[in-house]
């Protein structure tokens, strides 16, 4: 537990610049590593926004901040907090920018789509879509870019199915998502993509009014009709779920890169299929899913964390990536250890903003890992690992393409 009684230090730590880095592979961000070394609570300045913010990196402190109502998300939208992205990803009033009880109300509107039953409802359809994609890759033969052929289209198809977005609209969803999740295109281009996607969902919600249905748009349309959420709240929520859905492409791209560059890990998954669920959790823990940090929180009152006094009104970031490497919780944290148990990682976040799509992400990753290991037993990179291109200027890290071959 964070120690509230520790003596508060007087001199605040120096403000460190945290530039946008285009890192290769699953290299851990050296700036973050340095900050973790410096202390449990440091101060950072990111490329956009103004001023500085606190950064909390230890596992217990991260869980405390993310689960403590003294830190608000709602207030972030009102501050020009120093940040990585030139723009804010969530729309005002969407779940990312709400606090309980409003936040709980919004999440409740779509909860049935994300329960075990809701996610399992998609399993057969998801498997079918993946089988089709895999069959196409096998039919065309090696080499193939597995990002283009599997890791991008599969999560996109699943999230569109979850949402109730027609298959014909998948390409534009993909394009808008990429633009919104980029910090390289400038705030204006990202904002335009966000507005266009919002317009799309507003139309779809109107079309679906009164139609019911178990997909996200159906649930949101019913919630709007019942007066439980407003139209603009449901548009903001739809946008976040849609773009969140594609996170799986990047995450499984990183998983694949690890398996193809460390054949001993891949061989174990082939030889010991029962190990796969645990291996997947370990890969989730280990993968540096994002660049720098996401959305901050604003302290509503003075709070002391690990001896450092944070004043009301100041912005605080947590790093889930850093928490997942906390040696007090994960022995030998730099090692990918498929036997790690327990593995209480926070790759999907913690507290009320815990990833709404965690169960769906696990389902998709499980299906993809099974397909990659079982259907492509001889899979290997078609280029040297150093030549695999990783996304640049992206908020979420992952390979742009994974050129692979097999016999």
CB of 378 to ligand HEM, least distance (A): 26
CB of 98 to ligand HEM, least distance (A): 8
How many C-beta atoms surround the C-beta of residue 209 within 10 A? 12
Q: What is the rounded CA–CA span in Å between residue 281 and residue 339?
A: 10
Calculate the CA dihedral of residues 104, 105, 110, 116 and round it to 10 degrees. 40
CB of 318 to ligand HEM, least distance (A): 7
CB of 8 to ligand HEM, least distance (A): 26
E strands, 94-189, in order: 144-145
CB-wise, 103 or 340, nearer to ligand HEM?
A: 103
- E strand or H helix at 5: none
CB-wise, 36 or 126, nearer to ligand HEM?
A: 126
CB-wise, 325 or 382, nearer to ligand HEM?
A: 325
What is the strand order of the sheet 380-381 is part of? 144-145, 403-405, 380-381
CB of 246 to ligand HEM, least distance (A): 8
- Return residues touching ligand HEM (CB under 6 A): 66, 95-96, 107, 159, 240-241, 244-245, 247-248, 251, 289, 294-295, 320, 347-349, 353, 355-357, 360-361
Strands 315-318 and 297-299: antiparallel
CB-wise, 144 or 181, nearer to ligand HEM?
A: 181
Q: What is the rounded CA–CA span in Å between residue 53 and residue 36?
A: 15
Q: What is the rounded CA–CA span in Å between residue 360 and residue 119?
A: 6
Q: What is the rounded CA–CA span in Å between residue 327 and residue 184?
A: 34
- Decide: helix, strand or coil at residue 42: strand
CB-wise, 66 or 291, nearer to ligand HEM?
A: 66
CB-wise, 229 or 382, nearer to ligand HEM?
A: 229
CB of 248 to ligand HEM, least distance (A): 5
CB-wise, 174 or 353, nearer to ligand HEM?
A: 353
CB of 368 to ligand HEM, least distance (A): 11
CB of 176 to ligand HEM, least distance (A): 15
CB-wise, 107 or 340, nearer to ligand HEM?
A: 107
Q: What is the rounded CA–CA span in Å between residue 31 and residue 44?
A: 10
């Amino acid at each position: 537990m964070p120690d509230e009684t520790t003596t508060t230090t007087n001199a605040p730590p120096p403000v460190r610049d945290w530039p946008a880095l285009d890192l290769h592979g699953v290299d851990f961000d050296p700036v973050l590593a340095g900050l973790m070394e410096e202390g449990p609570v440091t101060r950072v300045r990111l490329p956009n926004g103004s001023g500085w913010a606190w950064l909390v990196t230890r596992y217990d402190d991260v869980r405390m901040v993310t689960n403590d109502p003294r830190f608000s998300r709602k207030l972030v939208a009102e501050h020009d907090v120093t940040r990585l992205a030139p723009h804010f990803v969530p729309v005002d009033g969407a779940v990312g920018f709400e606090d309980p009880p409003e936040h709980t109300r919004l999440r409740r509107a779509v909860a049935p789509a994300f329960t075990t039953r809701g996610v399992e409802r998609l399993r057969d359809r998801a498997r079918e879509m993946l089988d089709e994609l895999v069959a196409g890759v096998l039919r065309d033969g090696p080499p193939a870019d597995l990002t283009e052929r599997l890791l991008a289209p599969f999560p996109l198809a699943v999230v569109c199915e979850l949402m109730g977005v027609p298959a014909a609209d998948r390409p534009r969803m993909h394009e808008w998502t990429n633009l919104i999740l980029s910090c390289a295109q400038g705030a204006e281009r990202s904002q335009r993509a966000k507005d266009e996607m919002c317009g799309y969902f507003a139309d779809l919600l109107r079309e679906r009014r009164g139609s019911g249905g178990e997909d996200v748009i159906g649930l949101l349309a019913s919630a709007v009709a019942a007066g439980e959420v407003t139209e603009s709240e449901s548009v903001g929520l739809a946008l976040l779920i849609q773009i969140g859905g594609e996170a799986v492409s990047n995450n499984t791209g990183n998983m694949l890169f690890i398996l193809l560059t460390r054949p001993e890990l891949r061989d174990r998954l082939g030889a010991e299929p029962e190990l796969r669920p645990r291996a997947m959790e370990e890969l989730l823990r280990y993968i540096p899913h994002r660049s720098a940090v996401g959305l901050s929180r604003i302290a509503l009152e003075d709070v002391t964390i690990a001896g450092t006094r944070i004043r009301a009104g100041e912005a605080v970031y947590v790093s889930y990536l850093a928490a997942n490497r906390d040696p007090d919780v994960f022995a030998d944290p730099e090692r990918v250890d498929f036997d790690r148990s327990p593995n209480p990682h926070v790759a999907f976040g913690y507290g009320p903003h815990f990833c709404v799509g965690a169960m769906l992400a696990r389902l998709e990753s499980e299906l993809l890992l099974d397909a990659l290991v079982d259907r492509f037993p001889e899979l290997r990179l078609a280029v040297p690992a150093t030549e695999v291109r990783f996304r640049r200027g992206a908020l979420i890290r992952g390979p742009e393409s994974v050129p692979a071959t097999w016999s």
